[in-house]
Chains A and B, each alone.
Chain A
Amino acid sequence: MATIEVQRQVLPILGNPNQGARFYNPELPSSEPFVPGHRTCAGCGPSIQYRMTSKAAGDNTILVGPTGCMYVANSSYLCTPYNVPWAHTQIGSAGSFTAGVAAAYEAMIRKGKWKGQFPNIICEAGDGSASDIGLASISGALYRNHDCLIICYDNEQYANTGIQASSRTPYGGMTTFSPPGPLVPEGKKLYPKDLARMMAAGHPHCYVATASVGYPIDLMNKVRKGLNHKGAAYLMVYTPCQKGFVYETPRSIDLGRLVVESGLYPMWEWNPEQRAYDYSFRPASMRPVSEYLKLQGRFGHLHAEHIANLQKFANEQWRMMGVQLPEALLEAADAKNLVNMAAAEEAATVAETV
């Protein structure tokens, strides 16, 4: 059988990856695959992410949208914000539908039924889809190594259905399925599933990374690295949800930086060639978790001991990245040095890193 070789795109990596959100970068492409006009909330982290990631991908792109906010709030009939082909799929079908699109293009190009460069195939799955109901389907797509990028826009809850706990909801996070009460003062008792590491450990041939809307250029570069990688890639992006986290809407990007600076969202890349984690990303500063928690209503019920638990969790993350912990963060992991959230600002201490 005569077959046609599949040509793939190579996207350039942008300079100044650690620059702030308010920095103008002339290298950014002008194309807008994700345009205004959708119905997401003011300050919506996932939609900020959506614009950045689709911009990084460009116009030869196909988007897959499993059920979630980025389906329900983005697409209202006859008025979708997608300037590139987009398809809804079921919440549990994130990886499988995407695999179908990728397989179709492999076969159609090879058999001469479609002519052109292999498109970027991106799935935008919420954390409910990625960490719970669609986990197996995503694992399947990564395992089989379809040439696609699966993004988990991680707002740490089922937001579209009205703020319910997912496997990604942090310890202490209040949702309508994990409300605090006299018997459960911390609200959510379980720690979040370490989804990105699961994906890297289980599918070491894939490019896997974590990112945050607080670092847009870094995020876009990780999207391009994932797309340039021949085979499957997985990217987990911190995307705050104003409704679920309960914060002032202009602070989405601030939270995207604070969550990294507090150690609650470790930033790393899994390098599939070297089979190794790259922990070289360093935020400008390190802060106690209370700095991050106090901005959000979902943590407003926490007691000193709960904050200490979260600090211990953050400290473990720093250690995993090989970062030496400043004394202040060790002290912040002891409830004796903390106060209840109602007075959290008093507990804040700041430590600068190199």
Chain B
Amino acid sequence: MATATALKKKMVRINGCVAAAQAAKYADVDVIAAYPIRPYTATMMALAQMVANGELDAEYIVADSEHSQLSISHGASSSGARVFTGSSGVGVQFAYELYSPISGSRMPVQMMIADRTLDPPGDFGSEHTDALSTRDMGWIMGWSCDAQEAFDNHLIAYRIGEDPRVLLPQMVCQDGFFVSHITGDVELPDSGQVKEFLPPYKHPYPLDPRHPVSHGPQIMPEQGPPLQLERARAMEGSMAVIEEVHEEFGKIFGRHYDPWIEEFMTEDAEVVFFLQGAHAVTAKFAIQHMRDKGLKVGLVRLRTIRPYPTERVRESLSKFKVVGVIETNMGLGSVSSGGVLYAEVCAALYEADKRPLVLSFMAGMGGEAIVLKEFYWMTEKMQAVQKSGKIEKRTHWVGFEE
């Protein structure tokens, strides 16, 4: 292990987009597939400059669409190259066809997503619906809440996805603008640390003329389920690897993350927020203020949604009286008629001995910031439910109600 004195680390002030590009550079990616769409574009702009400056030796491909970006990535990863791509909003959707083929052929493509609302109309703001709509396609997926975590998650995801026990693609998500365009202090590691943490990519069966293989031949219906089961097991089996990799990351880089959930002021909390990504930053301030007034409120932030840490979510949330799920996504006509996170939370809690009451908050929609007073308002709603012991209104569109 590298020693602290020999390390050439440096602090830089960069946004989430640039942090992602820096991570790709540290990972020494071979092929980059770019296509512009706000807000993730800045990542590809940064990488283009690195390639132009000779700081990174990679094939930088300006693709003709997101569908092509993902196909290029699929082809390059199948050939044995480490690949980086990314998108936002409707761009994520345009490439949808490729998500299952890439995870099905077990290619550890990495995709950066700075999320954005879907059309209509053309709203630039952050909403998690773009990436979440692909959540069951066999990609490892999670959100970071600031630029440093984004940088770290990219390195961690490569290591997990390329592990021969896993071999799955990864969507490394960050909130558009709230992370992608907010500048923060990021520690860039010593390249020796990255070398120690992330070995070169080596797929067991690449497209190599010396060892011919066929990828993805047509199969009969009865040959489908075993392959699906194998992919499901890879996803399930990745959980142990994810924990192992996070632990090793902490040892080498000195930043220790719980891979699944982060709890904030939950020790004696009675009501908690449950959310993903950048709004956790405001939530923590709001909770701090409410704690000062004596309210027993806390936060549980989900860091990895695929694979979904069912046990951890159950174990954590069953301690509380009321859980307020902050969706920042659209689940039109879903279980709660709100977002899709509610169902994930409730399903995890179903087998718990003690179940909290669960509310769904449609907040941060369209890229609007969730401001402090909205956190206070939501806390009041949770407290009212705690007091009455029953839910009269499951889903609240924050800002549209008294």
- Among the stretches B171-179, B180-188, B207-215, B370-378, the one at the interface with A is B207-215
Most buried by B among A75, A82, A105: A105
B61 at the interface (CB under 8 A from A): yes
Mask: chain B, 120-163; 1 = CB below 8 Å from A; 0 = not: 00000000000000000000000000000000000000000000
For window 59-79 of chain B, which residues contact chain A by CB distance below 8 Å? 59, 61-65, 67-69, 71-79
- Across the two chains, which residue of chain A brings its CB closest to B58? A107
Q: A77-B217, A90-B101 are contacts. A60–B74 as well, Cβ < 8 Å?
A: no
A265 CB to nearest B CB, Å: 28
- Among the stretches B18-26, B218-226, B255-263, B293-301, the one at the interface with A is B218-226
B76 contact from A1, A85, A104, Cβ within 8 A:
A104
- Across the two chains, which residue of chain B brings its CB closest to A71? B218
A75, B214: Cβ atoms under 8 Å? yes
- Across the two chains, which residue of chain A brings its CB closest to B60? A103
Most buried by A among B67, B208, B209, B213: B209
A116 CB to nearest B CB, Å: 7
A195 at the interface (CB under 8 A from B): no
A62, B74: Cβ atoms under 8 Å? no
Chain B: interface residue total (CB-CB under 8 A) = 48
B57, A106: Cβ atoms under 8 Å? no
Chain A: interface residue total (CB-CB under 8 A) = 50
A90, B98: Cβ atoms under 8 Å? yes
- Across the two chains, which residue of chain B brings its CB closest to A64? B75
- Among the stretches A94-102, A161-169, A181-189, A296-304, the one at the interface with B is A94-102
A111 at the interface (CB under 8 A from B): yes
- Among the stretches A133-141, A275-283, A344-352, the one at the interface with B is A133-141
B79 contact from A86, A105, A110, Cβ within 8 A:
A105
Residues in A with CB closer than 8 Å to B67 are 92-93, 96, 137
B216 CB to nearest A CB, Å: 4
Assembled-state Cα–Cα distance A114/B62 (Å)? 24
B71, A96: Cβ atoms under 8 Å? yes
Assembled-state Cα–Cα distance A92/B70 (Å)? 11
A343 at the interface (CB under 8 A from B): no
B61 contact from A76, A78, A99, A108, Cβ within 8 A:
A99
Residues in A with CB closer than 8 Å to B83 are 100, 104
Residues in B with CB closer than 8 Å to A71 are 218
Residues in B with CB closer than 8 Å to A87 are 75, 78, 105, 207, 214-216
A137, B80: Cβ atoms under 8 Å? no
A97, B74: Cβ atoms under 8 Å? yes
Assembled-state Cα–Cα distance A95/B101 (Å)? 16
A77 contact from B58, B69, B97, B220, Cβ within 8 A:
B220
Q: A1-B54, A61-B209, A99-B72 are contacts. A139–B64 as well, Cβ < 8 Å?
A: yes
B30 at the interface (CB under 8 A from A): yes
A96, B64: Cβ atoms under 8 Å? yes
Assembled-state Cα–Cα distance A101/B57 (Å)? 17
B75, A76: Cβ atoms under 8 Å? no
- Across the two chains, which residue of chain B brings its CB closest to A138? B64
Q: A90-B71, A93-B98, A97-B71 are contacts. A107–B214 as well, Cβ < 8 Å?
A: no
Assembled-state Cα–Cα distance A111/B97 (Å)? 31
A144 at the interface (CB under 8 A from B): yes
A100, B71: Cβ atoms under 8 Å? yes
Assembled-state Cα–Cα distance A247/B72 (Å)? 39
Assembled-state Cα–Cα distance A215/B129 (Å)? 54
B63, A59: Cβ atoms under 8 Å? no
Assembled-state Cα–Cα distance A233/B399 (Å)? 57
B358 at the interface (CB under 8 A from A): no
B61, A144: Cβ atoms under 8 Å? yes
B322 at the interface (CB under 8 A from A): no
Residues of B participating in the A interface, judged by any CB pair closer than 8 Å: 30-31, 33, 54, 57-59, 61-65, 67-69, 71-81, 83, 97-98, 101, 105, 200, 206-220, 223
Residues of A participating in the B interface, judged by any CB pair closer than 8 Å: 1, 3, 59-62, 64, 71-72, 75-78, 80, 82-90, 92-93, 95-101, 103-108, 110-111, 113-114, 116, 119, 136-137, 139-140, 143-144
**15 new A-B pairs (CB below 8 Å) besides A113-B200, A119-B209?**
A1-B57, A75-B218, A85-B211, A86-B212, A87-B78, A89-B74, A90-B97, A96-B68, A99-B61, A99-B72, A100-B75, A104-B79, A116-B209, A137-B64, A137-B71
